[in-house]
Structure 1
Amino acid sequence: MNRDSTRMCVYVLWVHMTVWLYQKVKEKQRIMGKWGEAGVVGPPTGGYVTGSVSAAQLLSGGRFTVTIRPFFLFCQSKRGADRERTCFSYRAEQTSTVRRAVPLYDFWPVARHHGPGTLLHQRRRQQPENDIALQRMVSKWRVETELKVLDCRDASAGIPFKKRFTKMIPNGYLIFEDESFLDSTVAKMNALRKSGQFCDVRLQVCGHELMAHRAVLACCSPYLFEIFNSDIEPHGVSHVTFEDLDPEAVEILLNYAYTAQLKADKELVKEVYSAAKRFKMERVKQICGDYLLSKIDSQSAISFRNFASSMGDARVLAKVDAFIQDHLLEVSEQEDFLKLPRLKLEVMLEDHLTLPSNGKLYSKVLSWVQRSLWENGDHLDRLMEEVQTLYYSPDHKLVDGGLVIDGHSEVFGGEEDHLQFVQKKPVRESAQRQMSCSSSGSLSPSNQAANAPKQTGRREWKYIASEKTTNHTYLCLAVLDGVLCVIFLHGRSSPQTSPSATPCLMKSLSFEAQPEELEEQPLSPMHYARSGLGAVALNGRLIAAGGYNREECLRTVECYDPKEDRWTFIAPMRTPRARFQMAVLMGQLYVIGGSNGHSDELSCGEMYDPQADEWAQVPELRTNRCNAGVCSLNNKLYVVGGSDPCGQKGLKNCDAFDPVIKTWSNCASLNIRRHQAAVCELDGFMYVIGGAESWNCLNTVERYNPENNTWTLIAPMNVARRGAAVTFHAGKLFVIGGFDGSHALRCVEVYDPTRNEWRMLGSMTSSRSNAGVAMLGETIYAVGGFDGNEFLNTVEVYNPETNEWNDCTTSLAPLSD
């Protein structure tokens, strides 16, 4: 080969090499131009890259991590000019990080020729079929169409950047995704909402108007979607009113609907939760519930439990109850727990037995309470005012202790859980009634069904937690008929002998027997024990009417003659009633409202004529009223406060009866709801003392001025109480006994209106709640009531000289100021 031929061959080779190198450079430039200067290569579908590295840094070396969704993208670097394999990392969504060594220049042409779904391994241009794990990943990725690079960072840190790029697909379509568009659009829409522009819905929330866009709210709230969908004028402006939601909470939810951000102060979380429940925004409701659960402690457990119960959130309730089970003793020391209504049980058992400490015993107790409410017509609050005596037999049966003492042996109930119930037998009020009943026979099943109380909607009955506090005392938290209650249970030895039967309930065996021979003769007791009775002085005698004696609601009326120390019967009332008060007006006796013992509040009233010894009906109240106060003032009869039909809340109502025209009229309402308040007239004013707003006892006092029809709050009592009795003497008010929420009271207070102050007097010999009191001459008489263990038929009087109470006839003395 000559020199010219050699030159020609070299020239041709040089041209081919130059062309090849030029193609390589052009190929690299084309790829770099299309996928951006960040040095990131991936499937040609477009996207964006974020990180803190420049193209020069990427090509000069270093390790970078790329997180992608849902496709994969390689981020790699070249260390020097020798094209050594370098490590790169990538992570696909819902997969783990995988690291492989890949040459830089091996990847680009393969990615270009094979497109999406191609993955390189360590060996040059090796397909993923040789790697089973990578093959499975690729099989998942092949169905995706979008590429999003979420993160790209240099370990040595650099200037953050975000590079957007687009890719012209061969079929001619332009694909572009602007991630900031959604954020900016909703931000602008929220600004339009706040300025009221283009809004087509107005939310009226407790007087506040909030404007929004119907389409946005319909997408976020299924509740509002239903409202808008049923709108008669779908193209107009919708108006939706909420009177029981917090405006700030609704504004927070609107903000969330537009921005997907929930921001609420901790004090507003409950209100946001309540609003989210109404709007059926389950995600927000769950987030708020979880937040509240994270903040629960012993102090807030009861209030949070009540809130969750009102919301009907079973998931949150279960977690709150679990917390209470683990921290019952700490919870029981908190103020909210101490304010809960309480059911006190005294369980008699044999000396060799102990009460079970698990929840099985309380399940039996709950069943006993249900039976008492549904079949015997009791009220839950009445059960809680009395200490209920039960008997725990050696064969693990729970029966009514009072009836066991009285000799009743009839039991019924399932043997499956070893629980026995005793149907309470009514005690006849007189021999004549007993004879008439025995001659007529027992009630037929049809009559029994007709007289049975109607069962209302099903409420929650649930045992939550219990704890043994001492050797014989147990503490339990439970839900009784939808009311969160505390059950105190005390076990004691059963009696060795049973006392003789009497018309009234046997004295509690917790008290020691009194000596048979007493130096002083006790005041004669009533024929029947009575609690929730009406008592008043009439013509120098003490009248005691109606009331409960555990077994039944009475209609008998007894009259006490202090000169003879003797009780006699007068004409019975037309209707059995208890939890009422009575007053004397124009020489006649009036009884209004009350309860008939069958879960029914009464609106009827009666008037007693002492000359004819007979009762006559008077016009009924406009509403049924139980536990109301009654007082005569300026020749009118006033009925104040009382319980609502459910017996759970007090009333503010005040009604006046004119006996001349025989009509009722409305008066100014009380300042505070009250039931079981003591009511009395003094010096032309009417005083309403204590009572309870719902379950919590009050010490506040209100005075009514009939001239201007107004109520005024005056000095409060020293002791909060409900079910107290009141009378007046020498220009002062005497408030006697009552119930403070946990105990029947013996204490007595006197009010001096000239000084507007209360002071304590000597305590009674017995605790008495729902007792009767009357002034005979110069002596204050207290009669009947409930002492925390039994219904009372006893009488005691106040001695002003010694500032003491006594139940003996020798203690009778005029009352001096």
Structure 2
Amino acid sequence: MEFNTKHRKLSKTKNSVRTPASTKPRLTKKRIVTRKRKCVCFPENYSVVEFPSIWNELRQNGQLCDGTIVCRDMKSIRIHRAILSAVSPYFKAIFINSLKKGQPEETEIFVDVPSYYMSLILDYAYTGTCTVTAENVEYLLPYADQFDIVGVIQSCCQFLLQELRPHNCLGIFKFAKYYFCGELEKRGKLYIRQNFSRILKECNEFKSLSYDELEDILRDDELNVRNEEIVFQAVKTWVEHDIETRRKYIPSLLSCVRFGHISYKYFKSKILQWQPVVEDEKCQEALYPAVVFLTVLDSRPGTEADLNDPLARPRIPYEILFAVGGWSAGSPTSFVETYDTRADRWFLSIHMDLTPRAYHGLCTLNNLIYMIGGFDGSDHFNTVRCYDPVANTWHERACMYQARCYVSVVAHGGLIYALGGYNGRTRMSSVERYYPDKNQWEMTTAMNKQRSDASAASLSGKIYIVGGFNGQEVLSSAEVFDPDTKQWSFIRSMISPRSGVSLIAYRDCLYALGGFNGYSRLNTGESFNPQRGGEWQEVTEMFSARSNFATVLLDDMIFVIGGFNGSTTISHVECYDGDTLEWYDAAPMNLNRSALSACVLAGLPNARSFSYLAKAVPAAGADQAHHS
């Protein structure tokens, strides 16, 4: 679905509905220009009306009709003027001749609209619904806008919102802006920010953006880009599409790139050597502060960039990592740390209403964090707590049937599964699942093996669990659960037995990382593709051996966080890039801890409050420095 507003400028004119002869009524331009409608894109702004079935019955039978609409293709449609007037102030004004007081009411009007589209509008007028498709929405919305039919506008906007994709979102955004669909425009802009990297690759309309539109996107603090090289690539792609016309914008667009987050090597080879920069002194002048900044930084290995410098101002992360609880300094903790991946910084917050615990499970569902089971040094918990990061509040939820520490937790199909664990007496094979809408747990099929300190993940409609400890031995076995049949079955065992392991689904594969094999902590990992079967395959080793650590997906990389290395708890964090098959260091947590859990929430409306900009820069608002 492609959108082009330029070629239809005429259809925007509100007085384009005309009668063929001068004797037929016309609305004056004044009525149209002064009409200022607030955005009605979505239902919260509009009350839904019940449409009696008798209306459509009369229409289909051609009974009691008292008006006629003649369409562009000269097809006449018999209608009931009162029904059409009820959904359209526009038609009401024409039919009752409101601008010509004392004149007889009109019974026949001409509309410069094809009968196909007029029939869709009449479908809505008589039934309250009409069929919106990818093929008709681009014309149906302007016609509905022209006739002031709010319900059809809403239907079109709802449809377009569901159709937002990287290849069409720029067109939909411009379309919404042009027809004053404010809410759709707002959500379209949000989608563009959040999916910018894919848009750059997949959207043909990117190169047709105006300079102002591109600059607005690239300067946005909330632009979701894994690195600033992507921003430079966007500038380069846009400029080179029409180099002669757009050359003059390069200095200004280069200032949208936050060079403090670009490597000196890339800057030197790709940016300073870009031909338009080589040829233009103004471009070189624009880059001079970045040259100085990056040269100084490069000359001092190990030095971190000053994030308060405008050149290194981090963007607000789209995804926020939460690391909760764990074992630190000989006791369980209630501390929560959040990680800003754009600034590569951790922030520690104390949650006073959270009891200390370790060896618990953690998962996200509907932008809430669920903390399940665990251990506080003396008690094994069956309790469940739920954190709302927008309200910054914890709430109790229904308890599980069984206490579980060393529990494996996974969200799947809108439910939360708690698998195995230790209740203080025995290692368990039992499984229960939580229905958030009902706030209830139910027991489901037990696993084939007793497992505590195992790890579970959801992939392609199924739940997998690997490793763990059964009370006698560390396990290498793995199982899969089919929620449709409620059956567990074994899959290929891992290469190494692993307890305190982390399992994560990444790019259609399962990755089992680290853990304890009964003798030592491991820095090894292995992957398994359920679609291909076969054996588990070794993956690149981590820098640090670790067990009982946390693992998440962030920026399309696997992050491993904290854990126990065999002699001490650690704060080390590293990330695995599936493109390079290598591990990279990330900033360590503020606390050394193991037996913690972590999760990632994306698209939080208050993401800024968890970011470096809110927490470390006084200018960003001291009142936001500590959200907890």
Is the TM-score greater than 0.5? no
More helix by share: 2
Task: From the CA coordinates, give the structure whose radius of gyration is larger.
Answer: 1
Smaller-chain TM-score bracket:
0.3 to 0.5
What is the TM-score of this pair, normalised by structure 1? Answer: 0.33
What is the TM-score of this pair, normalised by structure 2? Answer: 0.42
Kindly indicate whether structure 1 or structure 2 has the higher relative contact order, using CA contacts under 8 Å at least 6 residues apart.
2
